[in-house]
Amino acid sequence: MAKCPECGGAAKWQSPFYVCTVCGLALRRREYERYHDRLKEQVFEAQIDKEEDEFRKRSKRHKDYEDWFLGSKK
Ligand SMILES: [Zn+2]
């Protein structure tokens, strides 16, 4: 089942458009696919941001540990 890129509602194929049954958005097949490609990219970028965040948090924790470890040797 196709999904409306605007509201996430169900979109029905009514040649030559995908028509959203919830908000009434009508998209040509091409536009619909372009919309979804863009959404996929956004999700992908958000995922990368999240991973970067976690990586930074982890390396900071690691650095704290190193500081503590090096500090305790003095
Ligand atoms: Zn919609």
Q: What is the pLDDT along the chain (74 residues), one digit of tens a residue?
A: 889 989 999 999 999 999 999 999 999 999 999 988 988 899 999 999 999 999 999 888 888 888 888 887 65
Interval between CA 45 and ligand 1 midpoint (Å): 23
Interval between CA 49 and ligand 1 midpoint (Å): 27
Cis peptide before 5 (omega within 30 of 0): no
Interval between CA 26 and ligand 1 midpoint (Å): 9
Interval between CA 7 and ligand 1 midpoint (Å): 4
pLDDT of 48 reads 93
pTM tops 0.85, yes or no? no
pLDDT of 74 reads 57
| Residues 21, 38, 42, 2, CA torsion sign | positive
